[in-house]
Amino acid sequence: MEDANDTTEINFILVGLFNHTQTHVFLFSVVLMTFLTSLVGNALMILLIHEVPQLHKPMYFLLSQLSLMDMMLVSTIVPKMAANYLMGTKSISPASCGAQIFLFVTLGGGECFILASMAYDRYVAICHPLRYPILMNQKLCLHMTAGSWILGGVDGLMQAGATLSFPYCHSREINHFFCEAPLLVRLACNDTMLFEFFMYVCCILMLLIPLSLILASYSLILAAVLHMKSTAARKKAFATCSSHLAVVGLFYGAIIFIYMRPKSYRSVAHDKVVSAFYTIFTPVLNPLIYSVRNKEVKGALRKWLEKHFLGRL
């Protein structure tokens, strides 16, 4: 007879996002194409920022970190979901489940702080342009990047470790398409109220502190832009900020909808759709937003294509 406290021998069951109807097969194909497009788009963004001297600036270095996190996020979730769907299985081992929780929380938390760092970068560039090389130097940029990864990693390690430490003696069916700590602890035998409160506090800190910094940065930017006498300068300032604000809106809007709503307003079906949006579709939108809205990125892409492809024709 199996020990009810044994979480290493029995796999969890992921219900998944799709069944095998024609509509869901089509939607699965869309998700797979989105996944591949996201990998290519973000890899191209990282390559451009590394290869083109014009983009060797703090803003674009932070953008390359955002692209790396997006690539890792979709790679953490979509391959396992696709493998289960194509092979007709739904199981995931406790180790793989823990890895998904760790990477998901690490990358989600890291993105929050990277977006806050990018907001600070725009604030310095617009409000203190003459002091930009001093206030946004390479050392500070590296420290902010390392801090984003470390803070996300610590949160991910705590959540994954604590979640897998609980005994699971009831249903092991997770009504989702990937392992997520809040859903997993609902299956635990023990009282998890204290841990759920701890997760909620971590969520508030990881979401609201960076969001507060972003809002403060853009409030100061807006005040500075409104005092600009030149219409051209205003347009340029708004253009440089609009891409970042669009990414912030997509990312935070989806995450706050999932994690900050009262339990009475939650629906598993809605949560799945919104989770799919910010884990699968948002990563493909980020490089598109920055390439369409940013003249420097568009110019760098044109030059890179001319040098490596059009120049050989």
Residue 310 lies in a domain: no
Residue 6 lies in a domain: no
Q: Please say if the pLDDT value at position 291 is more than 80.
A: no
Structural domain range at position 205: 12-294
Both structure tokens of 52: 């083109």
Number of domains in the chain: 1
Residue 241 lies in a domain: yes
Both structure tokens of 296: 């420097």
> Environment class of residue 236 by beta-carbon count within 10 Å: exposed (0-12), middle (13-18) or buried (19+)?
middle
Distance CA 77, CA 67 (A): 16
Distance CA 269, CA 86 (A): 22
Per-residue pLDDT, averaged over 212-227, amounts to 90
Residue 235 lies in a domain: yes
CATH number at residue 283: 1.20.1070.10
pTM for the full model? 0.89
Residue 305 lies in a domain: no
Per-residue pLDDT, averaged over 68-74, amounts to 95
pLDDT in tens, 98-150: 999 999 999 999 999 999 999 999 999 999 999 999 999 999 999 999 999 99
Taking a C-beta distance cutoff of 8 angstroms, is the pair 31, 116 a contact?
no
